[in-house]
Chain A
Amino acid sequence: MKQMISAQKLLRRYQLSKIMVLVFLLVLVGAVAIPGYATGRWPWTNPPTLANLKQLRSVRQNGIKIPEWQVIAVQNNVQIGTHRWLVEEIKKDKTIAILLLLPQNYPKNQPQVEWLDIDGFHRWQTDSHRTLRFTVKLAPIPDQPPPTVEARFFRSWTPQQTFAVVQWYAWPNGGSPATSRWFWEDSIARLSNRRASWVAVSIILPIQPQGDIKIAQPLVESLAESVQAKLMTETFRFE
């Protein structure tokens, strides 16, 4: 008798478990599949679009204007690796810097190996690699810490010249040289039906032959901050 009851109990548990599976599957069919079949639009065929594609294209064509820096020359569609970059020569007092920008070009475009591409393009040697951290001082948004950016900072040289170089991927509320950081940022944005668009930034500052990049650090840091701030207020504004 006892055994029969437990067998019955087991059967009921089994039926319950089966019904639970059915209920969950029905919820999904109702929430995603029926609208999907009706409209032909599925979540995986329609990822969130880039709200600021126009602004990104404008950077690709015309570059950006940095406060206090004078633009000497702008060249777009410069082939570096497999991508076409924007190259901007800028000047402040007697200092000249080169700004390389590669904005995201279409929704599926991901940052890849831009830093290697640049190394290959310039065929330079590098050393003194370190990480630069800076925060961007814009009008603060309540309850949100100021955006922090990490960038790679190193010295590079060719037989002719020595440079201090800063590189990072900028996105709406921060930046990092690592593609994986952007990936997580974008994934989190996708969860709320947005995207984290990106711009690859490379600042190249000529320095004394074999000079220490520490001397150049304050200048490149303030320039990097201005670039990130400019991108945030103009290029990423529509997100």
Chain B
Amino acid sequence: MHIQRKIRIVFKRYLLAEGITVLLVLLYAPLLVHWYDGWLNKSISLEHEYFSHGLIGLPYAAYIAWMNRKCWRSLPNSPHPLGGFLLVLATLFYLSRLSDLVNLSLPVMLASICLSLKGIPGLQLQAMPLLFVFLASPNHIPYLIEPYALPLQQFIAETSGWILIKVGINVRVEAIYLYVNERIVEVAPHCAGLKMLFTSLYVSLILLDWTGVWNSRKKSLLFLVITSIISITSNIFRNTLLTYFHGTQREALFTWLHAGWGGDLYSACILGLLVLLLNGMDKYFPSQSGN
């Protein structure tokens, strides 16, 4: 009788809580390895690479969730029924074999566990890490919105053409094609800068969360808007450079900026610019408090 009670206590205290963590790791570690492999080695698909901001987003989400642990423990244990619903949903997603749904099952599963253990306050506490995991779960939305990027592609082609003409290069623009010295550059959907835009916005969210500027809604919105403008402008400039390199037969430079590490460096510089921008904003509007 005595032993039985002891076993029950051990079971309740350790196995239940630690069991959930162990099972989660068993279920999702292979999936995360697969995600990281796809991001680092570009081995899955272009759509998957749209979510490569998860490389830093997921560790960051884990970090803030871990920092919340004291708060989490102090919350009352009050399960919310929605947790059960999301639990079933996440299970079905995981079993579905459809990569998008399997990927989506991770944030849904994590949210369901928050709700099942600590109810709505638990979900609210972990809202930011859950958001970062959700926005880093690869899916095919980029593929589905690509056909609608055509006006943006045309705009980029027109503007790049305009800049090159100003610089004194003979360019003709037809829809999304730039003709320089009888050579063609196509502003493909992948060149429309959607990936860079998504990455910039995701990194901005991390920066806002990290610096606490998040609390000022006006400032956050302003920062996100400027981020989008920087991202789109820098992409137009990059396309202009690519057209220039291709049109003037500087193939090595073209390849370097198009598919080589030049492109990555360019992106890194833009992201660095965001850090400077936020710092600058903090300097020039320090007292603008949130509402």
Contacts and interface: CB of A to CB of B under 8 A. Distances in A.
A31 B95 contact: yes
A120 B87 contact: no
A192 to B, nearest CB: 9
B30 interface: yes
B127 interface: no
A22 B79 CA distance: 14
A36 interface: yes
A37 B33 CA distance: 13
Given A112-B189, A183-B140, A14 B113 contact: no
B27 A25 contact: yes
Contacts of A74: none
Interface stretch (B50-58, B174-182, B201-209, B218-226): B174-182
B31 A44 contact: yes
B84 A20 contact: yes
B79 A25 contact: no
Nearest to A47: B99
A28 B91 contact: yes
Contacts of B103: 44
Interface in B188-208: 188-189
B147 A178 contact: yes
Given A28-B27, A191-B98, A21 B147 contact: no
Interface in A167-201: 178-180, 183, 187, 190-191, 193
Given A29-B23, A43-B102, A44-B34, A15 B147 contact: no
Contacts of A17: 79, 83-84, 116-117
Interface residues of B, number: 48
Interface string B80-117: 00011001100100111111101100000000110011
Question: Which of A22, A24, A190 has the most C-beta atoms of chain B within 10 angstroms of its own C-beta?
Answer: A24
A18 B13 CA distance: 11
B147 A44 contact: no
B23 A18 contact: no
Nearest to B94: A28
Contact of B144 (A11, A27, A44, A180): A180
B143 interface: yes
Nearest to A180: B144
Contact of B16 (A19, A32, A190): A19
A217 B15 CA distance: 70
A11 B76 CA distance: 10
A15 B143 contact: no
B189 A24 contact: no
Given A11-B77, A14-B79, A179-B143, A21 B112 contact: yes
Given A20-B87, A29-B23, 6 more contacts: A10-B77, A44-B102, A45-B34, A112-B189, A116-B150, A179-B146
7 contacts: A16-B79, A28-B95, A29-B26, A44-B99, A112-B189, A180-B144, A183-B143
Interface of B: 12, 16-17, 19-20, 23-24, 26-27, 30-31, 34, 45, 77-79, 83-84, 87-88, 91, 94-100, 102-103, 112-113, 116-117, 140, 143-144, 146-147, 150, 174-177, 184, 186, 188-189
4 closest A-B pairs by beta carbon, nearest first, are A17-B79, A25-B23, A14-B77, A43-B97
